Amino acid sequence: MPIRVQRLRIGASRPLAHGGCALGRSARQLARLDARDREWLVTIRSRLLDGAPEPPAGRFNAGQKINFVLVCILLGVLYISGVETIVAGTHHNLIFGGHKLATIAACGLVASHLYMAVLNPATRHSLRGMLTGKVDRAWAREHYPRWEP
């Protein structure tokens, strides 16, 4: 049976505040690294090289949490450096260099997520969660065993 991953529905029948609460709760969960997340991070090498098992994740794994923080930082850098470029009227300076570097880093994150969402069979199911707001309960139990929806 599918489970809802995000209780966000913005429409006439549902006040915007509900969506805001769900987003706020997700952001708080994403911004907090617990001891299990730190274990997830330090075991990346052994998982990739020796096929060690993945420590159980909650609703988000540590990689997703780090990605969230990076995306927030990169969008902040892009916004600030973009506005500064408009105000300064030139892009021949270091700040615009930051704009380009942040763009390259963001492209790396997007490319790796396209791989996970479209190509990698182990993670492809999560695309359904992004498109429909729901994922299979069995899949969630396997990939996010500490998640209690």
| Residues of the shown chain interacting with ligand HEM in the complex, contacts defined by CB under 6 A | 78-79, 82-83, 85-86, 91, 99-100, 103, 106
Closest distance of CB 91 from ligand HEM, Å: 5
Distance CA 4, CA 98 (A): 38
Q: Which is nearer to ligand HEM, 8 or 80 (CB)?
A: 80
Q: Residues 50, 51, 56, 58: what is their CA dihedral angle, to the nearest 10 degrees?
A: 110
- Rounded to the nearest angstrom, the gap between the alpha carbon of residue 115 and the centroid of all alpha carbons in its chain is 14
Tell me the residue nearest to ligand HEM as measured from the CB. Answer: 82
Q: Which is nearer to ligand HEM, 2 or 82 (CB)?
A: 82
Q: Which is nearer to ligand HEM, 83 or 130 (CB)?
A: 83
Q: Which is nearer to ligand HEM, 20 or 76 (CB)?
A: 76
Place of tokens 């880093």: 105
The single-letter code of the amino acid at 53 is P
Count of CB atoms situated within 10 Å of the CB of 54 = 12
Q: Which is nearer to ligand HEM, 74 or 140 (CB)?
A: 74
Helices assigned H by DSSP within 89-135: 94-114, 126-132
Helix (H) or strand (E) holding 53: none
Closest distance of CB 76 from ligand HEM, Å: 10
- Rounded to the nearest angstrom, the gap between the alpha carbon of residue 59 and the centroid of all alpha carbons in its chain is 11
